[in-house]
Structure formats: C-alpha cells, structure tokens
Structure 1
C-alpha cells in the first residue's frame, strides 16, 4: 500500500530543460501542474475529513439532546439507526479519510515533490553559463536549489491540505451555529473577520522577513563553503581569524534577520490569543443566555462551546500554518532569483550536433569584450588547418584563454564567428561542440569521486583496461596503487577529495591528462597542460602528448615557451590582436615580442634547435 502511494510521482520524469517563470504564481503552477491529480486528491480528501470532523461535534450536541428526550430502556430502540450512522462516521469514515489524506501528503508529496523541483532546478542550473557560476557562491546556489524544493512543497501542501481543511471546518462551524440559532454564529463570524484582518496585516510582513532571513542564510552557507573549499589558501596566509570575522558578519546578519521575524511572530501570537479568548467567552456566554430564553437546547450549548474550544486550539495551528506558508513563499521568491534567471548562452532553436570530419578551426573577425567598453578580442581572424598544431603566446591578459573560452562557447561573441569544419559553433548544440574538444587546463579540478570515475569522465563507457592504459600513458600507474582515502578505499577506488585536494598538483594533472586522452576528441586544447609537473615527469609525458596530438588539431597555451616551441605555428597575441605569427625559429629571427619573451626565459632544447640566449641584464 505504501509503495503504491510512493510511486504516484516520478521526480525524474522526462521533461524538457525549461526556464521556470519569473512571476510567483506562474512559478508555483509550473511545478504543480505536472502532478495536478495528486493535489486534486489532496483537496478532496482534506475537504471530506474537515466535514466529517465537524459532524462529530454535531453528534455531541445530538447525543445530549437525545438522552434528554428519552429513557435508557428506549434509547437504542428509538435512535438505533442514528447511533449506527454516528458510529460509521466516527469509526470508519473519519479514520479512512484521515489516513488517505496523510498517505497523499506524507507518502506521495513529501518525498517526491521537492525531489521533482530540485531535479528540474538542478538540470536548468547546470546549463547556465560559466560566468553565472563564477559570479556567485557555489554553496549559495546549492542551498537555493535544495531550499526552494522544500519550501515550495511545504507552502503548496499547507495551502491545499491544512488551509483548505480550516476553511471547510470554519464554514461548517458557522453553518452549525446558525442552524441552532442565527445569533449564536455572530461571535464566530466576528472572530473570523478579525482573525483574517490580523493575518492580513502580519503575514505579508513575515513573508518579507522570511525572504530576508533566507537570503542571510544562503549567504552564510555560501561564505562557509567558500572558506572550507579554499582552506589551503586560508591556512597558507594564516587568515583563520580574518575568516572568523568574515563568517561572524554573516552569522550576525542571520541572527538579526531571525530576530526581526520572531518579533512579528510574537506580536501576532499575542493578538490571536486575545481574539481566541473573546471567541470562547462570547460564544459560551451567548449560548447560555439563548438557552435561558428557550431559543437553544442544552445540546447546542455543548456543540457551540466544544467547537469554540476546538477552534481556539486550532487557531494557533492555523497561525503557524499561514505563517509557514508565507515564510516558505519568501524562500521560494528568493530561490526564483536564481532558478528563473535566463541562460546567457543558449542553443538556437533547431540546433544540430557538430560533425567534425577534419578539424579545421577558423576565427573569423571575432570581437569580444566581456561587456566592457574596450575590447579583449578585437577583430581577430585566425585560420587553423586540420591537424595543425598552433601555440598561442602572449603576456597575461593578451586574450589567449579568452580565445579558448570562445571556442568552447562559454561566452557568445559580440561580433564575427567561429567555424569548425565550416560549421558556425553558434548554430550547433553546446554539448556536441564541447564533446568534440578535449582540454587540459593549468588549474585542474577533479571531482570528489574515485580515481577511476575521474579518468572515466573522459569516456563513460570505457573498460577497466582502457582506464589503466590511459593511466599508464601519463605515468599515473606509478602512484595510483598506493592511494588510500579516509574510508579505506585504495588504488583506483580511492576518492581524491574536493577538487582533487588529496593528490599533489602533478598527480592531479596526470589524471586530468589521462581523462582527456581517453576522451580522444578530434580537437585538443592544452592550457599550461604540464605546468604542474616536474621536469622529469614532464619530459616523459611530453612524449605521450606528442602521441595524443597526432592527427588532431591542437591549440596550446603556455607561459613556459619551451613547451610549445615545437608547434607547427606560433601565434603571438597582444591586447586581443595577433601581432606575430610563424614558427619558433622564424619568430626568434624576427626579434619581436616572442623573441623578447624567449630571452626572459632560459632558452631551451626542443625540436632539434639548441641554444642559450642571454637573459635581460646579462
């Protein structure tokens, strides 16, 4: 039985990756409409449960009136069917409706609905641009995805379950009071009006305070995660106390936001308590007075007083339900700021997969400026032939990494176009584009998973033999067998820590090269690919890189010029413009920017040319 209810919602159903709406009600409906039959069942079961509970209070009054009108020996003979109906409602109908309502709420909605929101929110967020993630805390983004799913579920369940139950309950109570005597309903109606006015004043203010508290909480989480993620930097600069101050500010903001909300809640609670005391006193006093006039029966006094006390007890619950609804609405609104943000880089409608047959790469009058006034890449044209190996050279900020980011379409161009085998990368799918490009970066980040999973990331279907072959090619087989993580996993099964912190820089780099080797993409980008390696390992891996580069179009970036001097062609960038191009020997003979950069380094032995140029000042 549990399993049937638990499988009514499939949080991982096939749905397109769609941007959630930016307006609140539309945002809610975007998710609710996907499982509207479940919410319809919740409304029906909640309504039936409320009606049955009100009927039970009516039975109390009826029983009192019945025993006052008959004798013990005749009570069952005269009112047996009435008692049987009461017994059916109390012993069968009410428990069944309550269990059904709880099953829908707890088994169907509580686990699966937030999972659905989180899954779809995560999928949409994962396809945001690189810049989106660079501009925010990873911890805050994760918190918003998780909190929004929970808050959306809580607010919707309370509205469709609890609040609907209360509306039916209060409406039923008014009908029963009026049925006994119209005047008996007056205190309850006055209470309802004042109660609604109280909630209307307090709840919007609590909602805003909840939004501020959610923002303070997610910011605190982001700062804490940021510090933990960069703990080596914190310790390296001996800034533990500085980080304490940074986190303390966020904790203080969170405390202040919480205090602002609790003040409002306390004031609302005091107001509601006062109204509740008025309801019981006025209802009981009026019922007794009407009985003294002969207008109502003793049963009506029991019914009205019992319901008033029940409503008194329920009002506190209602207050917290409504407060919780709007607190969660505030959290959802804050989450919408992240989850409803438009993608900066999107596939065109009807975009087709990139097909790489040769590997030609053409930058055609490319312009890009990161939104600045001055250009980072200015009207750049560069044609790379299939299988050609090109090295990008230039001072920091010259535009080398930007050019690679544009090739990967992490950003959209402000002008011009980039072609791969004649196909504009703006017209193909991003996934197919990046699948065709293998890249090794200087700042290598590994996933906090096993060594095997990190290498296999380049080719998910790779066999164990292929994984070890890739590891051997980059000489990672020398250290992998000796790895042990805190959970006791060893070798390929050992987890590498967040961003690969359990490994040395050289070990991380070798794993990164191994996964790109396994990917075997037709276009290869090397951005300081061997900078973290010692000279001996670099020399060994350089031979493997030569093998990896065979038959591929290669774009290599390196500040250590000896590592790219063997490229077929070197392209020198200065402020986003190509200022020199040629082979290593040609550029040295020309005596320009490249020759100057070379003189600032130690010269080298590569590609059959050995020389030692004097350093500046020698």
Structure 2
C-alpha cells in the first residue's frame, strides 16, 4: 500500500520547467504543479483529524457524565450502542490518520522536494555564463537544496498546521459552547492574546530568517570556494587566510542566529505564561459553574482537559510558526536566485542548426559584457568552409570573446553571427554546441571516471571508438596506469574534482580525446596544447592536424608558433581586425603581427603596455 502512495508523485517530469514567478505566493503556488490534488487531499484529511481530536473531549465529557449517572451494572445496557459507535469512530480515525500520513510521508516528504530540486537544477543549468561568473557555485547549490526543502515545509505547515489548528479551535469552542457559554470566554481570551503574540513575534522571525538564509548560503559558498580551489590555497600557504575568510561569514551567520534565538526565547516565555493563565482561568470558571449547578462533572473534566491539551499544542504551534517563517525567509532568499530570468534563451522559432559546410560569418558584431567598453566593435569576418583560421592579438583584444559569442555563451549586443547562412540566434543552443568541438586552456574534467569524461563527447560511442580517440590524443598509455582509492583502474578510474588527480598535460589529453570522439564539423582551439610538454605537444599536434581535416577551425594561441601554419591569421586589436593574411605575408607587412612575433620570449607572447582589460574580456 505504501508503495502505491510513493508512486503518486513523479519527481522527475520530462517537461522542461518554466521560470517561476518572483512574487512569493505566486512562486509557492507554481512549485506545487504536479502535486496539487494530493496536497488538497492531505489538507482535507488534516482538517478531519483536527475535528476528530477536538471532538474526543466532548466524548470524554459524555463518558464522565454517564459514569456519574449510570450504575455499573447498567452501563452496557444503557450506553452500549454509544460505546460501539465510539469504538467504530476511533477505528475509522486510524484509517484516516493512515491515509493522511501516507500522503504526507510517502507521497510528498521525499518526492516533493526532489521534484523541486530536479526543476531548479535544470533551470540553473540553463543560466548563462555571466550568471555563474557572479555567483559562488556552492552558494547556488545551497539555494537549490535548501529552497526545495523550505517550499515543501512551508506547504506542509500551511496545509497541516493551519487547517488542523483552525478546525481544532472551532470544534473546541463549539464543544465548550454546548456545555456552557461561559466556558468559551477563557479560550476566546487566550486565542486573542496568543494571536497578538504571534502578530508581534512572527514577522520579526521572518525578517531575521531571511537574513539567516542569505548568510548561510554565503557561508557555504565561501567554504566550498576554498575546497574547490584547494590547490591554490595550499600553493600560497593561505589555509589560515581562508579560515579567517570563512570565519567572517560564520560570524555574520551567528549574528542572525542570536537574533533569531532571542525572539524564540521571548515567544517561549510568553506562550507558557498564556498557557498557565488559560488552565487557571478554565479550571476556575468550570469549578464555579459546577458549584452553581450550571455545568456537569463531565463538562468540568472536558474543559480542563482541553486547557491542558492546548498547553502542549500551543508550544507545537509556536515552533511550527517559527519554522514556517524561517522557511518563508529561506524561500524569499532562494527566489532571488532561482527566479532570475535567463539572459541567453532559445528564440520561440528556434530550429536545430544544420551544418553541411561549416561557413562562419560575423556581420557588424559588437559586444561589451554589459559594460561601457566594447570588447568587440563592429566586427565583420568570413571564415570559409574548411578554412583554418588563427586569432592573434594581445590580451583583451577580443579573441576569446569571439569564441564565446560563436558558441552563444553570450548574445551579441548588435549584429549577427551566421553558420552556413543560419543566424545562430534563431537556432537552438544545444544543436549549435553539438556542431562545435572545443579544447580550452583551462581544462576541467568531471569528477567521474575517465570513460565518462571521454564519452561526454559522444555518449553513444562504443568502447572501440573511445579507445581510438584516446590513442589519437596520446592518452591511452597513461590511462592504462591510472588507479583511484576505491581500487578502480584504467578507464574506470575516477579523476577527482575538476580532474585534480591528473597532471595538466594528462587532463588536456583527455579533453582532446573527448573532442576527437565528438568529431564536430567546427573545431575551436583556445590554447589547446598550452599544458603539454614539448615532446607530447609535438605528438598531439599531429593528431590535431588529423582532427582538423575537413573541418572549419578557429584557433587561439599566445605561442604564435603553434598557429603560424594556419591558412589565415586574423590580427585583432581593441575588438577590431587590424591585419589578416598568412604568416609570411603578415611578417612582410611589418605591422602589429610582426611586432608580436618579434616580442616572443621563450615561445610566449610578450605583453605590451595597455589599459587594464574588463573582467570577462578575452
């Protein structure tokens, strides 16, 4: 039976998630898509349970009255039918609680937040590179995880606590009214005072909880940042510096914790005082009514039991309300990240890119990473099918930016980019990137097996194709000798986060094998062999030349010798083309390329004095 309830909510829907609204209640409502019928059913069951529990006190009063007026030997004869009805109602309540609990714990406790994580994660994967440049990866992951739980708990409290409590109190007041209208007064007064306490404390708890959620994600982001860049931390002997950096965030977090706990302590004291006042007032009123003959012993017992029960329930409600507004603060904080609109989107009429030849054309393209300074300025460039082009220029000239725009990691601010006559702004991003293979200078591998990393280029490839790609990339031999702490070896060995268990050259060769396996018609090389030693580079260069055959190639290298043999070199300066031609003709011109070639030192490009480049420009 429990398995049936576990299958009611599917946590991994295939449909692409839509961007949630940034208004709080609209965001909460959007998050319930796919579970609303079961949420409603759980709410109705919670309300019925509240009415049943409150009704038990009326039944208690009736039982006490029966016992006070019925002889023991006549109890079953006079009240037997009522006892059987009571037993049936109590038995039915077990089924009701079972259904409510199964819906809460089997259908939603795990599936609901997982559904949200699944959708939030896919939304984050669709965000632009600019989004990730402005955020800690750990901070984003924390918001995905904690916001999913906070949304679930907010709905659970609203649907279970609020409905249960409202129906419970209404039933209690109705029961007391049936005994004596005077017995309603202590409870009504308590409700008013308790509501006033909630009105005072809860908004303050909500405010501090939102600040706490943000402080928590900042703290987690800083800690994760240190772990992600642990090699740099150790290289510069900055363990203490990183500890201090994290401690500053921890102190900010603790400020919010202390503020929250002060409010909770105050709420606890006020709540207990109100509970004691309720018990004393109810018991006193019931005793007075009994002495006056206006209330039975059963009414006295039921009213006192209700007051005692509310002492426990009020503490539960207090903590649940505090938790509710902590969750609300967490959700509000998460909305700022999870509800942020994507800046690079597929157009409504986007079609898959079809590449038959591989011609690339930049028409009046300008771009500046959102700043005032243009990194690319009115660029016009035609790269013919199968042409091998090298991009040359000082740092900040726009070389890497051209590659980023071609991959549509950013959208151009003006102009357009065409591939085989198709404007890439009107093609799907996935189809565009599927037609492009790229090897970068900063190679990051996934914390998975070597096999998984190479097959990332073409997941449906067989082992023979994978090994062939590794051999062409001069990677097969060292892969055979790899092992990891769990005893996996060769292609099954895991490479560590970002490939930290491998040398720079090994990571680069696996990355090259991945691109070779992908075998896309357009090839982008951004310092593709910079991490390799001379002997391996020479071997890889031959493999790259083979890989380039029949492809349109755009290559960037600071070591001009690695791209001197390209069909054409494009020399960039301040986002514009200032020279183009082959290596010999450019040297003969005696222009910028000739000066850069002359300034080579040890095979690397010597930098000339220039204005500081903007972040992101390349």
Please give the TM-score of this superposition, normalised by the length of structure 1: 0.97
**CA separation in 2, counterparts of 1:539 and 1:291?**
102
Is residue 66 from structure 1 mapped to residue 70 from structure 2 by the alignment?
no
Quote the residue 1:298 is aligned against.
297
C-alpha separation in 2, matches of 1:199 and 1:156: 19
Shift of 1:285: 0.2
Cα distance in structure 2, aligned partners of 1:203 and 1:23: 20
CA deviations on 1:550-583 (whole Å, 9 max, x unpaired) are 0000000000011000100000000101011000
Query: CA shift at 1:603, angstroms?
Result: 9.3
Kept in 1: contact 2:46–2:164 (CA 8 A): yes
- The answer on 1:127 being equivalent to 2:126 is yes
Query: In the alignment, is the contact (CA less than 8 A) between 2:55 and 2:172 conserved in 1?
Result: no
- Matched with 1:155 is 154
Is the Cα–Cα contact under 8 Å of residues 45 and 101 in structure 1 kept in the other structure?
Answer: yes
Pairing 1:169-318 to 2, within 5 Å after superposition: 169-318=168-317
| Secondary structure of 1:596 counterpart | helix
Alpha-carbon contact 1:364-1:417 (below 8 Å) kept: yes
Give the CA deviation at 1:51. Answer: 1.5
* Deviation digits for residues 12-63 of structure 1 (CA, Å, limit 9, x no counterpart): 1222231011101100110224211111110111111111112222121111
SS where residue 489 of structure 1 aligns? coil
Asked if structure 1 preserves the Cα contact closer than 8 Å seen for 2:9 and 2:34, the reply is no
Deviations 1:459-480 (A, max 9, x none): 0101011110000001101100
Q: 1:163 touches 1:321 (CA, 8 Å); kept in 2?
A: no
User: What CA distance in whole angstroms lies between the structure 2 residues aligned with 1:428 and 1:560?
Assistant: 34
Match of 2:442 in 1: 443
Q: Work out the CA distance in 1 between the residues paired with 2:251 and 2:595.
A: 53
Partner of 2:548: 549
What is aligned with 1:569?
Answer: 568
2:496 paired residue number: 497
What is the CA distance between 1:488 and its match in structure 2?
1.4
Q: Count matched residues.
A: 606
The offset of 1:602, in angstroms, is: 6.2
Deviates more, 1:12-21 or 1:509-518: 12-21
Query: Alignment partner of 1:462: what SS?
Result: coil
Runs of at least 5 residues in structure 2 that lack an aligned partner in the other structure: 609-618
The answer as to whether partners of 1:570 and 1:584 remain within 8 angstroms in 2 is: yes
Corresponding residue of 1:511 = 510
Determine whether 1:320 maps to 2:319: yes
Q: Is the 8 A contact 2:55 2:175 kept in 1?
A: no
1:408-419, aligned counterparts within 5 Å? 408-419=407-418
Q: What is residue 9 of structure 1 aligned with on the other side? A: 9
- Which residue of the partner structure matches residue 39 of structure 1? 39
Task: Indicate the residue corresponding to 1:403 in structure 2.
Answer: 402
Residue equivalent to 1:357: 356
User: Per-residue deviation at 1:541?
Assistant: 0.8
Alpha-carbon shift at residue 419 of structure 1 (Å): 0.5
Q: CA deviation at 1:246?
A: 0.4
Deviation at 1:164? 1.3
How far apart in 2 are the matches of 1:11 and 1:209? Answer: 32
In 2, Cα distance between the equivalents of 1:7 and 1:480? Answer: 43
Which residue of the partner structure matches residue 341 of structure 1? Answer: 340
SS at match of 2:72: coil
SS at match of 1:367: strand
Q: Distance in 1 between matches of 2:439 and 2:300?
A: 82
Q: Within the alignment, does 1:57 sit opposite 2:25 as a pair?
A: no
How far did 1:374 drift?
2.1
Structure 1 distance, partners of 2:65, 2:298, is 5
Aligned mates of 2:583, 2:74 — CA distance in 1: 115
- Where structure 1 has 5 or more consecutive residues not aligned to the other structure, the ranges are 605-615
Contact 1:42 / 1:160 at 8 angstroms: preserved in 2?
yes
CA contact 1:562–1:603 (8 Å) conserved in 2: no
